[in-house]
Amino acid sequence: MGQAVNVDDPSLTMDEINKLIDYKQRYALALLGPIVVLMSGIFLHYEFIREPAEQPPSFVVPPVGGWGGLELSFDAVGLIDSFYWAVVTMTTIGYGDITPMSDYAKVLAILYLPLAVIALADALSDVQMIGTRRMIRETDFSKLADECLIRDALRDEGPPNLDPILNEAEFLVDQLLNNDLVDEEAVKVINRQFNHITRRGNFTADEARKLTPKLVFEELRERARAGKELSEGATAFDLNPDGSFKWTTFEDWNKKSWQPRVLAKYAEKLGAESKKKRSRGQPPGQLKTIAGVAGARRPKK
């Protein structure tokens, strides 16, 4: 379906990415699944579910050149019924005017219906997402910078902020909301949750809240003192057998608990990436780009 485009390649501009992406092929690929399922449904109904006509109409192909004529029996009305049944089934309309009669036909219909509905719903979702991504990639945000900042000035309750600051995370949320990719109420709930876990930090109105290891240490220590449940990793690293918090200072926790957990997760990540590359037949230490496989990475000094 066309060349693969690495949209994360920092050497490519948005204009270059838009020129490389063939959106017609992406739409065709998204619609390929339901088309195959639709054709399968037509065949399934025509061959196994419908009640065939007693005497299907015959069509005679006249002789051409040295070839003799040919008589074909073809139920055109039955084929139309099969197409109609497949479409009605995929769209879950289910008028009920064409229904399977035998037990065998009913079993086939039961197997086909969820597959058809899922294929169509998934394709519609893919088509919508492809269109949204294309619209975002082709948008000239430099022209809309003032509108983005105005929305940020009106984000909080109360009077507008006449000197707003829009950081990268706030811009991301703004575009997710503006393109109806997330629910606004859900974003508010997530913001309140993040404000809660960072409540021990001192942040100004325009300063981006940050969850630091220091704040995590204080949160874990407070939860342990209150007898509240900790995460699986914190339970293993930070609690004594009696349930009390193991560490007295942030420095001890950072050196003996936090850093070992981060390094362990990093080792898991490297192992998963190496396994994924081996499954794709790509040697470790090489990068796959739109132009092929790049040379080996230089070792870090």
> pLDDT digits over 114-129, tens only?
999 999 999 999 999 9
- Average confidence (pLDDT) over 168-183: 91
Residue 16: is its pLDDT beyond 50? yes
Same domain, 284 and 240: yes
Residue 155's pLDDT is 81
Q: Is residue 4 part of a domain?
A: no
Residue 28 pLDDT grade (very low, low, confident, very high; cuts 50, 70, 90): very high
User: Hey, what long-range contacts does 68-74 have (CB within 8 A, 24 or more apart)?
Assistant: none
Share of residues in the chain with pLDDT > 90 (%): 51
Q: Is residue 260 part of a domain?
A: yes
Same domain, 221 and 235: yes
Number of domains in the chain: 3
Residue 282: is its pLDDT beyond 50? yes
Residue 204 pLDDT grade (very low, low, confident, very high; cuts 50, 70, 90): confident
The token pair that represents 195 in the structure block: 């404000």
Among candidates 184, 175, 170, 186, which has minimal Cα distance to 135? Answer: 175
Residue 244's pLDDT is 94
> Whole-number mean pLDDT of the chain?
85
Same domain, 95 and 108: yes
Q: Is residue 301 part of a domain?
A: no
Question: Residue 110's domain is classified under what CATH number?
Answer: 1.10.287.70
Q: Which domain holds residue 56?
A: 14-61+69-138
Residue 243: is its pLDDT beyond 80? yes
Residues counted in the chain: 301
Q: Is residue 23 part of a domain?
A: yes
Residue 286's pLDDT is 47
Q: Pick from 113, 138, 163: which residue ends a domain?
A: 138
Residue 246 amino acid letter: K
Lowest mean pLDDT among 17-26, 63-72, 165-174, 287-296: 287-296
Same domain, 232 and 201: no
182/176 Cα distance (integer angstroms) = 6
Residue 80: is its pLDDT beyond 80? yes
Please state the φ and ψ torsions of residue 67, each to the nearest 5 degrees. -90, 140
Reduced to 3 states (helix: H, G, I; strand: E, B; else coil), residue 299 is coil
Reduced to 3 states (helix: H, G, I; strand: E, B; else coil), residue 10 is coil
Same domain, 106 and 36: yes
The token pair that represents 58 in the structure block: 């015959």
Residue 279: is its pLDDT beyond 80? no
Q: At what angle do helices 184-197 and 168-178 cross, to 10 degrees?
A: 160
> pLDDT digits over 91-144, tens only?
999 888 888 888 998 999 999 999 999 999 999 999 999 999 999 989 999 899
101/293 Cα distance (integer angstroms) = 57
Same domain, 19 and 93: yes
Among candidates 133, 141, 186, 183, which has minimal Cα distance to 166? Answer: 141
178/152 Cα distance (integer angstroms) = 12
Same domain, 150 and 264: no
Pairing relation of β-strands 58-61 and 70-73?
Answer: antiparallel
Query: Which residues have CB under 8 Å from 65's CB, separation 6+?
Result: none
3/8 Cα distance (integer angstroms) = 15
Same domain, 148 and 114: no
Among candidates 75, 46, 45, 43, which has minimal Cα distance to 59? Answer: 75
Give the torsion sign (CA, 198, 200, 205, 208).
Answer: negative
Query: Which residues have CB under 8 Å from 22's CB, separation 6+?
Result: 1, 2
